Each structure stands twice: as structure tokens, then as C-alpha cells.
Amino acid sequence: MTTPSLRHDWQREEIEALFALPMNDLLFQAQQVHRRHFDSNKVQVSTLLSIKTGACPEDCKYCPQSAHYHTGVDRERLMAVEKVLHEAEAAKAQGASRFCMGAAWRNPKDRDMPYVIEMIKGVKKLGLETCMTLGMLSAEQAQALQQAGLDYYNHNLDTSPEFYGEIISTRTYHDRLQTLSNVRDAGMKVCAGGIVGMGESRADRAGLLQQLANLPKHPESVPVNMLVKVKGTPFAELDDMDPFEFVRTIAVARIIMPTSFVRLSAGRETMSDELQAMCFFAGANSIFYGERLLTTPNPEADKDQLLFTRLGIEPLQHDGYSDDVHEAVIEDALQEQAQPVRYYEVS
């Protein structure tokens, strides 16, 4: 029995079998994997700012910023560079190590790129990691963002290929995969995950994770969002997702993408401290910090700090945990034979 290398050939049946494990066995396995690759009591903290809000032409059924639905979200122009940098300074003062900027666009226009590039450069000068989510990117746009110094680009797959048509009609699954390819080819890190609780099946959740794990390189960050039901969207009246199923999703993501940061993203506002603690035990090691995620609520910063104190968790400091150090930890873990991780075989 040897320590497995990173895999990119996961079969749907294997992933569904992990979901079906008794909870104690699944969490035990996920915790073993987590400890091999990360400090189990460190959590990476990011802040997300909406730099352009509302009037998005896409018809994502979960999104309050879609122009197709009436949700009370006002249309706002692209935020001034100086205001973005002020928000980044405040985020750093509150303990964030990564600053993420999101714009409600189908794709950025050429006229917007100079302002976006100035935002990236300014946030980098503050000593923060930079991340953006601007919709679809061409290869040329991805190159421009990389040259400006952008560290991460977020572009979620949302769900499985089979369920995708129930979510959105204005953008194809291939469009999303192509943007991820453009980002990776440009030399940036990938932040890609999805949303659960949209009425999908467990097989769809397995399908989403399969798509992510079988990319040529695992995303460095994998946000797992719990649907935030917003009045005016088609998904406003869906039933709540079983919280244990959410924990299972986190654990399976950790097992099949062992070196990725698995992030608790949207939906934490309604999660109990106990549920969040279970997610950290299952392998989540990143959160969004602050009182809002684009247009939806998020736990107040003081509440997160108190939870971290109660759990003995500390924010991961960007300056003290470079990419080179992370890569070295990964390499050592993959070669380590003394404490092999047991992977359950699927017949």
C-alpha cells in the first residue's frame, strides 16, 4: 500500500462510492489526506469585493445580479480604482491574505481592461494575493491579466455537465472549460468550483467534482458554494440541502483534490458554527471573510474571528507560506511512505 500521486482519471463510480461511505469513514479519510498536505489548523482567508454590480446578461438561475430577474440589486458602474484599493487596505487590516474582485460581466470589454489592470497592480503593491472573476476570458485577455500580476482567476463550473442545462442557457459548459484553459495557458492559478443545493442529485455533485479533479492540473482553489436563495430568482423556493450532504461534498473534494485549497464560500451566513467546524474537519481550509459576498450576506468578521478562536484555528499568512513552500510540502507528502493514506477500492 503506497501513497497515491495526484490523479486526473477519476471515474464517476469511484467518486459516488466515496460519497456513499459511512460518515465517520469518509471524514477519517479526508482528515488523513488533509494533514498530509496542509497544516490542519490554518485557514486561508480571502475577501471578495464586487467591483461592478448588477445587469449581467447571463441567465444563471441562482444569481441575483442577472438582468433576467427582478431581485432588487441596483446596476452599478465599474468601481473607481482608488476605492478598490481602499477596500483592499481595509481587508488586509482585518486579516485577509487574498483580495478577490468580481464583476457582473459576461466577459470584460476592451475599454474596461486598463482599469482592471490598475486594480491588480495596486492590490499587489499592498502585499495581497490577487484574484478576479470577470466572466469569460479570451486567450489575449488572460495574458494581459497575467502580465499585470494577477495570481488567481475564478471561473466556476457550477455543476455537472448533465445538470448544467437546468442552471443556465446563455453560456455552454465548453465555454467555461475554455476560459479555464485560457487562464492556465497564460500561467495564472485557477480558482474553480461550483454551487450545491440547486436541486441537483448526488450524482451531479460527483460529476462536478469529477470535472474539476480531471482537469490537466487541479485548481489551486476549489470554492464550494451553498446556494443562497434570493427572492426573484428561479431558485428562491428550493428546499434546503441536507447539511451532512454538504459536509460530504467538502470531504470528497478534499480526497480527490488533495493539494487544492477547498473554500467555504457562499452560504456560510446560514451555517451554524457546528456545521462550519465539521467542514473544517472534512478538509475545508479557506473562507471568504467580510460581511458581503458580491451581493449576498456573509458572517461578520468578528464572528469568524471568534469561531477561529474557539476552534484553535489561525489565518494562513500569505507572506509566511509562499507557493514554493506549498509545492515543497506537496512533493514531500507525495513521496512519504511512512503513513500511507488508505483509499477504499471500488469494485
Known catalytic residues are 56, 60, 63, 100, 131, 191, 263
Closest of 270, 346, 304 to residue 96, by C-alpha: 304
Rounded to whole angstroms, how far apart are CA atoms 111 and 105?
Answer: 13
What contacts 47, CB < 8 A, 6 or more positions away?
87, 88, 91, 94, 96, 98, 99, 100, 288, 289, 290
Whole-number Cα distances in Å, 208 to 22, 253, 311: 21, 10, 30
Q: Residue 24, exposed/middle/buried by CB under 10 A (0-12, 13-18, 19+)?
A: exposed
Closest of 250, 302, 305 to residue 275, by C-alpha: 250
Amino acid at 294: L
Amino acid at 167: I
The cell numbers describing 282, all together, are: 472534512
**What sign does the dihedral 15-179-216-34 (CA atoms) show?**
negative
